[in-house]
Structure 1
Amino acid sequence: MDSLILISIIVFWLSFAFGMGNLYSYAKQKEVLKLHMTEIAVTSSLTNIKKKSLSDRIIAFLSRYADDFSSLGERINFFSESDEVEVLLRKAGNPFNLSVSRFQGFKIVCVLLGFMTGAFMVIIGFPLANIAFVTLPFLGFFVPIMLIRSTAKKRQEQLRSDLPDFLDTVSISLQAGSNLDSSIKESIHYFTGPIQEEFSKFIQGIELGVPREKAYLELLTRNDNEEFQSFIKSLIQATRLGVPMAATFKSQSEDIRKISLEQVKEKAAKASPKVTLITSFIIAPLIMLLIIGLVVLNMIYGEDSIVRFFTS
C-alpha cells in the first residue's frame, strides 16, 4: 500500500513537471509569434508609407463623413450596386481604405458638396451658375464611380505591364538557389505599385500561417488581369505537381511578353483605320472648306471680283 502511494506521488510530480514544461514552452512560442507578427506589421506599414498629395488628403478628409451617409448611398445605387463596387474596390487596391459602405456614403458627400458649391455660385452671381447648380450634384454622384472604375482599370494594366520584369527577377533569384518565398520577398523591394502591394500581401499572409493555395486564390480574387490569373493558376498547378518554380517563372515570363507584343501589334493595327476615319471625316472636310473659303474671298475681294464687275 505504501509503495502504491509512493508511485502515485512520483507520477503526480512527474506529470506536474511535464505540464509546467509544456506551459513554459507554449508561453515562449506565443511570445516569439507575437514578436514575429509585430515585425510583419511594422514592415508592412513602412512599405505602404507614401507621400500623400493634396487630392489624396482632400479625399481622405471627405471620407471621414462618408459613414454617416452610407445607408442612403446603398439605397441610391445607380450604376454602383454594392456587389459591383466591392469587385471594383478589390481591383483598385482598396484606395484610401474605402469599404463598400464608405464608398456609397462618399458619393452622397460629393453630391452635397456639389449642391453647396452650385448654391454658392448662384448666390455670388457666377456666370452659368444655374447650370452649375443642376449639373454639379450629378457630377458629384457619378465622378466617384468613374474614378474608381478608371483606377481599377489602370491598376490592372500596370500589374500586367510590370509582371514580366517581376517574373524575371524572381526567376534569377530562384536559379541562384533561394526558395520561392524568399525570392518574392527580396524581389518586391525593386518594384512599386500594384505588383509590390499584391505580393507583399501574399508574403504577409504566408508568414501569418495562411495556406499557400488559399493565398494564391486570394490573389486571383483581387485581380482579373488575364496574364496575372494565368500565372497564378500555373503556380497552383506547379505546387500540386511539384514542377520546379524557376522553370515556371521563366516560361510564364516569356509567354506574357509574347502576349504583350501581340497586343501592341493589335492596337497598332486598330489605330490605322481610326486615323484614316479621322482624316476622312474631319481633316478632309476642313481642308475643303478652307479652299472654298479662299475661292469665295478671292471672288469677292480679288482683282477680277464680282463686286468690282458690278460697280465698274
Structure 2
Amino acid sequence: MSDQVVKALLDPAFMIALLVAVAVFATVFTVLPALSGNPMKARMKAVALERDELRAKQRARLAAESDRRRKGLREEESIGMRNIVDRLDLRRALVDEGTLTKLRTAGFRGQNPLTKFLFFRLVLPFIGFVLAAIYLFVMGAMPDQPLFVKMVVCIFAAYGGFYLPVLYVSNRATKRKQSIQKAWPDALDLLLICVESGMSVEAAFRKVSEEIGAQSVELAEEFVLTNAELSFLQERKAAYENLASRTGLETVKSITQALIQAERYGTPVAMALRVLANESREMRMNEAEKKAAALPPKLTVPMILFFLPVLFAVILGPAIMTALALKNG
C-alpha cells in the first residue's frame, strides 16, 4: 500500500498537476488584491459616501426647520386681527423704530408678526384684568384686603398683560443673539477660508450658510438673507447694514463696516476678515474666562448652605456620638 502511495506521489503527471495547482493558487493570491482595488481608496470612498449622506440628512433637517419657521412667521394674516389693528390705528400709537428693530432682531419680519404683536398688546391687558378679577372676586382670594387693594392688583395684572408681548420679543431676541454670537467666530473662519480660496463674497455667504446651519440656524438664515440682498439690492452697502441691524451685535456690525470699506476702497477683504476673526475668538475666550472667574463667588453661598453643614455633620457626628455614649456609660 505504501509502495503504491509513493509511486503515485512520484508519478510525473501527479507532480505536474501539483505544480500547476500551486502556480494557479499563487497567481490568484497575487492578482486578486490588484483586481479588488486599493483598500484605502475603497475606504475613503465609503467615508465620502457616508459624509454625503449625513450632510444630506442635516440639510433636509435644516430645510424642514426653516420651512416650519417661515410658515409660522409668514402665514397668512388673520383678517380679524388686521381689521382691529387698522381701525384703532395701533401702528401709529404703539409702533416706532425701536419696536421694528426689536422684532427684526427677534427674527420676526414682515407685517404679519407686527399685526399679531399689536393685537396681543391690545387684548392681553383685558384678559389679565378679567382673570385677576375672577381670581379675586369670584374665587375669593385675598378676602382680608379692601376693595382698593384688589383693584390695584387687577390694574397691575392688566399692566403686565400689556407688556407681556414686549417681554416675549425681548426674550426671543436675546436667545437669537446668543445663538449668533456663539457661532460667529466659526462663521468668520469659514468666510476667511472661502474668500482666500477665490470665492466671491456672495458665494462665500452661501457656502457658509450651508455649513454653519448645524451650529446656528439663525446665523445661517441671516447669511441666506444677506446673500439674497447682495444679489437684488442696488447698493451692497444696504445689504451689509441690514445684516448688522437684524442681528443687533457689535461684532457683526464691525464685520459689515469692514466689508463696506472693502467695497468702497478696494481693500483686501481677507485681511480684514482675518483680523476680525482673531478678535472674535479672543472675545469669546475672554467671555469664557469671565464666566470661569465669576464661578467661585457664585459657589460660596451654596457651599456655606449645603456643603459645610454636611461636612461638619460627617466630621463631628461620630465624636458627638462617642461623647454621648461615654457620658451615658
Shorter-chain TM-score range: 0.5 to 0.7
Of 126, 146, 156, 2:167 maps to 146
1:256 shift after superposition: 0.5
Of 243, 261, 265, 1:237 maps to 261
> What do the CA deviations read for 1:19-55 (whole angstroms, capped 9, x no partner)?
xxxxxxxxxxxxxxxxxxxxxxxxxx999412689xx
Hey, what does 1:197 align to over in structure 2?
Answer: 221
Hey, what does 1:103 align to over in structure 2?
Answer: 117
Query: What are the equivalent positions in structure 2 for 1:206-285 lying under 5 Å apart?
Result: 206-277=230-301, 279=303, 283=306
- Structure 2 distance, partners of 1:222, 1:51, is 16
Hey, what does 1:84 align to over in structure 2?
Answer: 98
> 1:144 is aligned with what amino acid?
P
TM-score by length of 1: 0.61
CA RMSD, 1 decimal: 4.5
- Structure 2 distance, partners of 1:270, 1:60, is 47
1:177/1:84 CA distance change after superposition, 3 Å: closer
- Structure 2 distance, partners of 1:145, 1:63, is 23
Of 76, 81, 100, 1:65 maps to 81
Is the 2:127–2:161 Cα contact (8 Å) retained in structure 1?
Answer: yes
Hey, what does 1:177 align to over in structure 2?
Answer: 198
**Identity fraction in percent:** 20
- Structure 2 distance, partners of 1:246, 1:253, is 10
1:122/1:191 CA distance change after superposition, 3 Å: same
> What do the CA deviations read for 1:64-103 (whole angstroms, capped 9, x no partner)?
62651474756986xxx73432221122122685555652
Is the 2:129–2:158 Cα contact (8 Å) retained in structure 1?
Answer: yes
Count of residue correspondences: 244
1:265 shift after superposition: 0.6
> What do the CA deviations read for 1:107-154 (whole angstroms, capped 9, x no partner)?
1222234345556767985978989x9365444222211111111122
> What do the CA deviations read for 1:211-245 (whole angstroms, capped 9, x no partner)?
11122122223332121111111212222332332
- Structure 2 distance, partners of 1:109, 1:60, is 20
**2:112 aligned with 1:93, yes or no?**
no
TM-score by length of 2: 0.58
1:200/1:211 CA distance change after superposition, 3 Å: same
- Structure 1 distance, partners of 2:262, 2:240, is 12
Is the 1:188–1:195 Cα contact (8 Å) retained in structure 2?
Answer: yes
- Corresponding residue SS for 1:65: helix
- Structure 1 distance, partners of 2:110, 2:232, is 24
> 2:84 is aligned with what amino acid?
D
> 1:68 is aligned with what amino acid?
I
- Structure 2 distance, partners of 1:175, 1:103, is 44
> 1:160 is aligned with what amino acid?
Q
Which has the larger Rg? 2
Q: Which runs of 5+ in 1 are unaligned?
A: 1-44, 304-312
- Structure 2 distance, partners of 1:115, 1:244, is 60
- Corresponding residue SS for 1:210: coil
- Structure 2 distance, partners of 1:139, 1:200, is 37
Hey, what does 2:36 align to over in structure 1?
Answer: none
1:259 shift after superposition: 0.8
Q: Which runs of 5+ in 2 are unaligned?
A: 1-62, 144-149
- Structure 2 distance, partners of 1:207, 1:46, is 24
1:261 shift after superposition: 0.3
- Structure 2 distance, partners of 1:278, 1:85, is 40
